[in-house]
Amino acid sequence: MRLSSSSALFFAALIGAGNLGASGSFASPRTPPPSSIVIYSFKGGADGANPLAGLTLFNGALYGTTSLGGANGKGTVFKVSTSGNESVLYSFAGQPDAASPAASLIHVNGKLYGTTPVGGTINNGTVFEVSPSGHESVLYSFKFEPDGTNPYAGLTETNGALYGTTSGGGTKDRGTVFELSASGDESVIHSFTGEPDGESPFAGLTYLNGNLYGTTEHGGYGKKGGAGTVFEVSPSGSESVIHSFTGAHAGSSDGAWPLAGMIAVNGTLYGTTYEGGPADEGAVFSVNPAGTEKAIYGFLGGDVYLDGASPSASLTLLKGKLYGTTLYGGNNDSGTIFEVSKSGRESVVHDFQGSPADGAFPYGPLIVVNGMLYGTTANGGVNNDGTVFALAP
């Protein structure tokens, strides 16, 4: 089962049943890449289930969230050591508390901060904080108009303020960029309108040279009904589109429908798109602040090509190469970890095997700790409720 790229449907399908399922097998297996190490398999109960977010290194341990499970079935904030000792810091309770986090945490001044796309006072999502001892509070509950609704992305801290995006709400119900103080005062710095400035930001923001950069899943000008954008917005709210994706069509290998944020490397932004590219299975791209964009690599997918398909997470830099995950593809169509050079040479460094031995469907980004890559899978592991894994590339 492949999922729609529409953010609400995408998220609902991921967590609704707590199981993504498997789809098909490939006819042309190749020599398997190195195996990952599953350092923790979620059991689906009090310990959490189905992590959609990546991990955060804080005080020498890894912290993350699960979209389901916990004491109330509404997801958790958890802590896990690199040796696999896991504990739950907090179990979300749902309205008026937060629920079902989908994004990675950040740490600021000794606390962890995150978002949830649902929960809060009217179930339109929240920004929350949690201490290392597990004390949680909702900093802000979204109201839909004009402040936004359903934040799927994580936060970015700049000059003492938190910045993020909502996939919907705002003045045109096309999503927003917002600013939030540590005391919970929220302001919208941009409301998206669709065409040409973008629609439905599903990813977080990247700070570069005084401005914030992000992607929208839809909107902009394109030949695929608005295939998404890369945008720039100042902290004061001046916004401009620096690239509109055109999607897969004759004569183009450009991406479409970016679900992930970007990383900045030497003044250039690098990211992924869920679709587009030569086979419409997703792409890796670069773009500079002036708007010069290049499709670095297009995933080929299919029953013959085993390079991965449908990247939904941001990239990570390690030893001069970009590493990322694909939600699907690989030998088992359960997703991959790939590396790609800035010149476009790609190779798969791990094929996920599914359940029970390995993870499946890596939705979140990777992080680097002591030269190792760490991440999560939404499914797979001994109970098919997801894993935390490590890989030596």
Residues 6+ apart with CB under 8 A from 335: 308, 325, 326, 327, 328, 329, 352, 359, 360, 361, 362, 377
* C-alpha angle 48-202-15 in degrees, rounded to nearest 5: 30
Q: Which of 32-41, 161-170, 372-381 has the lowest mean pLDDT?
A: 32-41
Which residue type sits at 97?
D
Q: Is the pLDDT of residue 287 over 80?
A: yes
Tokens representing 23 are: 């789809």
Q: Is the pLDDT of residue 162 over 50?
A: yes
Higher pLDDT, 188 or 223: 188
Of 393, 269, 379, the residue nearest 327 (C-alpha): 379
How far does the chain reach from its first CA to its final CA, in angstroms? 29
Of 375, 379, 372, the residue nearest 353 (C-alpha): 379
- What is the pLDDT, as a whole number, of residue 101? 98
Q: Quick one: pLDDT band at residue 15, thresholds 50, 70, 90?
A: very low
Q: Quick one: pLDDT band at residue 23, thresholds 50, 70, 90?
A: very low
Dist. CA 376–CA 364, nearest whole Å: 6
pLDDT per residue as tens digits for the range 211-229 = 999 999 998 875 445 799 9
pLDDT per residue as tens digits for the range 329-367 = 998 899 999 999 998 999 999 999 988 878 999 999 999
Q: Quick one: pLDDT band at residue 63, thresholds 50, 70, 90?
A: very high
Which residue type sits at 389?
F
Averaged over 244-254, what is the pLDDT?
75
- What is the pLDDT, as a whole number, of residue 6? 54
Mean pLDDT estimate for the chain: 89
pLDDT per residue as tens digits for the range 91-105 = 999 999 999 999 999
- What is the pLDDT, as a whole number, of residue 249? 58
Domain ranges (residues) in the chain:
7-391
Q: Quick one: pLDDT band at residue 145, thresholds 50, 70, 90?
A: confident
Higher pLDDT, 221 or 250: 221
Of 275, 280, 282, the residue nearest 297 (C-alpha): 282
Q: Is the pLDDT of residue 157 over 90?
A: yes
Distances from the Cα of 227 to the Cα of 5, 6, 91, 152, angstroms: 11, 11, 37, 19
Higher pLDDT, 18 or 113: 113
Q: Is the pLDDT of residue 19 over 60?
A: no
Residue with tokens 């979140």: 364
Q: Is the pLDDT of residue 8 over 80?
A: no
Q: Give me the residues paired with residue 56 across strands.
A: 63
- What is the pLDDT, as a whole number, of residue 373? 96
Q: Quick one: pLDDT band at residue 146, thresholds 50, 70, 90?
A: confident
Q: Is the pLDDT of residue 21 over 70?
A: no
Percent residues over pLDDT 70 in the chain: 88
Q: Give me the residues paired with residue 206 across strands.
A: 213
CATH number of 7-391: 2.130.10.10
- What is the pLDDT, as a whole number, of residue 226? 77
Of 53, 44, 39, 54, the residue nearest 18 (C-alpha): 44
Q: Quick one: pLDDT band at residue 393, thresholds 50, 70, 90?
A: confident
| Three-class DSSP category at 16 | helix
Query: What are the DSSP calls for 135-187, one per residue?
Result: -EEEEEE--BTTTBB---S--EEETTEEEEEESB-TTTTS-EEEEE-TT--EE
Query: What are the DSSP calls for 18-81, one per residue?
Result: S--------SS-----PPPEEEEE--SSTT-B---S--EEETTEEEEEESB-STTSS-EEEEE-
Instruction: Say if residue 356 is preceded by a cis peptide, omega within 30 of 0.
Output: yes
Dist. CA 153–CA 7, nearest whole Å: 11
Averaged over 369-384, what is the pLDDT?
95
Q: Quick one: pLDDT band at residue 29, thresholds 50, 70, 90?
A: very low
Distances from the Cα of 5 to the Cα of 11, 189, 209, 382, angstroms: 9, 26, 31, 28
Dihedral over alpha carbons 129, 135, 136, 139 (to 10 degrees): -50
